[in-house]
């Protein structure tokens, strides 16, 4: 199957306009990356890491200094017209549209840039406005919209053309919880609704990347430091897991400390509540099944279970050496 995005040795150097104004800046440094069709792919990195530069090259808004980039099988330099037919892009916090036009007029205008039939465009616009809860705002001037409503309109603009591949640069930046949830849910549903739809998402929100993305690449200083599924990336961090269980009263806890994968075990009895609190420090997740089996073998019932493990933020800090700036 043809990849949605393939990047080979991609480099982008920004030269100062005048030699006296400073040194050149390497935004991308020999980046290799492959995104398969149908993937919801995440790109994490601090400010200045090269995320937006990569998206601009892939969306044909910027030329690379060296290397090659292919989108839907087309060279972004030689076949930019073919690339543009198959993509769209949305950036968080962007000021999109004309304030004097209504929401519906703005969206219709963007569909015409892509050559959509007017009847198809109008139907698609109405469907998306309803889906995003903006149907009652369709005849309102864009300048009267709130920040969240304007960003929803921007997202609709990106998806209304039904692209094969869409680039989303911080699409939920600065939005409230409800607006962010609507956009995240739509992205997932859109990818799953039709085969080979592809999303490349950049975000500062670790939870968003963890929940949405099939795979994630971590980029810093113009280089890809790691690329894998969220679960596999978390395994790169050597951090012990903690497991806490509240169970009905246990008379015998002698076996728990010797279970394979348990590094440390402590417990506390609460006679008043007739409960026992168990705490384990684990070196391997396989111990969880054996712990639960032992609890059940002793005739106790699990009342609550809490497990902590490395997060994407832990991985990011390990790779980059700092959090987002």
**pLDDT, tens only, 15-70:** 888 777 778 999 999 999 999 999 999 999 998 999 999 999 999 999 999 999 99
Task: Provide the whole-model pTM.
Answer: 0.82
Query: Is the fold of 3-234 the same as that of 241-309?
Result: no
Tokens of 149: 């409503």
User: b/e map of 148-179 (b: 16 or more CB within 10 Å)?
Assistant: bbbbbbbbbbbbbbebbbbbbbbbbbebeeeb
Which residues, in sequence order, are CB contacts of 201 under 8 Å at separation 6+? 40, 41, 42, 43, 168, 171, 187, 209, 212, 213
213 closest CA partner among 195, 227, 194, 193: 227
Indicate the pLDDT class of residue 323, thresholds 50, 70 and 90: low
* Domain locations in the chain as residue ranges: 3-234, 241-309
The alpha-carbon radius of gyration of the chain (Å, integer) is 25
Fold entry, domain 241-309: Alpha-Beta Plaits (3.30.70)
86 closest CA partner among 72, 101, 68, 76: 72
- CATH class as words, domain 3-234: alpha beta
Instruction: Report the percent of the chain where pLDDT is more than 70.
Output: 97
Assess contact for 159 and 182: CB atoms under 8 A. Answer: no
Kindly report the average pLDDT of the chain as a whole number: 92
Q: Of 19-33, 130-144, 148-162, give the lowest mean pLDDT range.
A: 19-33
């Amino acid at each position: 199957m043809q990849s949605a995005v393939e990047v080979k040795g991609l480099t982008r150097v920004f030269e100062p306009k005048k030699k006296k104004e400073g040194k050149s800046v390497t935004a991308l440094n020999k980046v290799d990356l492959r995104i398969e069709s149908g993937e919801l792919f995440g790109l994490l990195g601090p400010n200045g890491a090269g995320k937006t530069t990569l998206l601009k090259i892939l969306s044909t808004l910027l030329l690379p200094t060296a290397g090659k980039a292919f989108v839907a099988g087309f060279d972004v330099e030689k076949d930019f017209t073919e690339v543009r037919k198959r993509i769209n892009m949305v950036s968080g916090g962007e000021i999109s549209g004309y304030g004097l036009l209504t929401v519906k007029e703005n969206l219709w205008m963007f569909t015409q840039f892509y050559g959509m039939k007017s009847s198809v465009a109008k139907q698609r616009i109405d469907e998306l406005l309803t889906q995003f809860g903006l149907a009652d705002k369709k005849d309102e001037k864009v300048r009267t919209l709130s920040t969240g409503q304007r960003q929803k309109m921007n997202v609709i603009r990106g998806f209304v053309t039904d692209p094969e591949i869409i680039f989303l640069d911080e699409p939920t930046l600065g939005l409230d919880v409800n607006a962010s949830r609507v956009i995240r849910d739509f992205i997932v549903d859109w990818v799953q609704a039709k085969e080979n739809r592809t999303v490349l998402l950049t975000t500062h929100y670790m939870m968003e990347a963890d929940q949405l993305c099939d795979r994630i690449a971590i980029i810093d200083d113009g280089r890809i430091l790691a690329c894998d599924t969220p679960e596999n990336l978390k395994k790169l961090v050597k951090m012990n897991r903690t497991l806490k269980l509240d169970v009905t009263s246990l008379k015998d806890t002698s076996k728990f400390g010797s279970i394979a994968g348990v590094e440390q075990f402590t417990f506390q009895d609460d006679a008043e509540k007739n409960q026992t609190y168990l705490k384990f420090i684990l070196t391997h997740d396989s111990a969880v099944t054996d712990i639960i089996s032992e609890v059940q073998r002793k005739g106790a019932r699990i009342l609550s279970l809490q497990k902590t493990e490395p997060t994407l933020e832990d991985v990011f800090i390990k790779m980059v050496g700092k959090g987002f700036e």
